[in-house]
Amino acid sequence: MDGIAGEFTRVPITIYGVHLLILQAGTVTKEHKERPTQHCGLLFTLRGQAGIRIDDAYYEMKPGKMVHCAYGRMLEIRVDAEEFEGVLIQYLPDEGTGALAGLRCMSVPFELEPGADEELFELLRKLCLISRQPVPTTALKIGEITQRVMNRTFRLSRLEPKNPSEVRDDRRRRGDVTIDALADLFNKTAFVVEDVMRMSIPPGQQLERYRLPKCGFLFAVRGEARMSFPERDYRLEPGVLCHGSDGERMSLVPVGAESFEYYVVHYRFCERHEAVEEELPGHFTLRPGPQPRLIELLERLHYTAVMPGKLTSFRKKELFLAILGETFAACQSVRYGPDQLEAIERAIGYIHVHYAEPLTLEELARLQGMSVRQFSYLFHKNIGIRPIDYVIQYRIGRAKEILAMSRKPIGEIAAQVGYDDPQYFSRIFKRHTGLSPREARMMTQPETGVNNHPSFIE
Strand order in the sheet with 191-201: 191-201, 260-269, 215-222, 241-244, 284-286
> Does residue 116 or residue 176 have the better pLDDT?
116
Name, in order, each residue with C-beta under 8 angstroms of 23's C-beta and a sequence gap of 6 or more. Answer: 29, 48, 50, 77, 79, 83, 84, 85
Could you tell me if 209 and 172 are in contact, meaning their C-beta atoms sit under 8 angstroms apart? no
pLDDT of residue 69: 93
- pLDDT given at position 1: 46
Phi-psi map region of 204: left, alpha, beta (phi>0 left; psi -120 to 50 alpha) = left
Where in 104-179 does DSSP place strands (E)? Answer: 110-112
Query: DSSP 3-state assignment of 92?
Result: strand
What is the longest distance spanned by two Cα atoms in the chain? 91
Give buried/exposed letters for 304-319 (b at 16+ CB in 10 A, else e): bbeeeeeeeeebbbeb
**pLDDT confidence band for 454 (50 / 70 / 90):** very low
Give the chain's domains with CATH numbers.
Answer: 4-156 (2.60.120.280), 169-333 (2.60.120.280), 339-448 (1.10.10.60)
Q: Is 226 exposed, middle or buried (0-12, 13-18, 19+ CB in 10 A)?
A: buried
Q: Which residues on neighbouring strands pair with residue 225, listed in sequence order?
A: 236, 254
Q: What is the pTM of this model?
A: 0.42
* Strand pairing report for 215-222 and 233-236: unpaired
Contact 429, 411 (CB under 8 A): no
Cα–Cα distance measured from residue 3 to residue 241, given in angstroms and rounded to the nearest whole number: 30
**Highest averaged pLDDT of the listed ranges 166-170, 189-193, 285-289:** 189-193
At 340 the pLDDT is 65
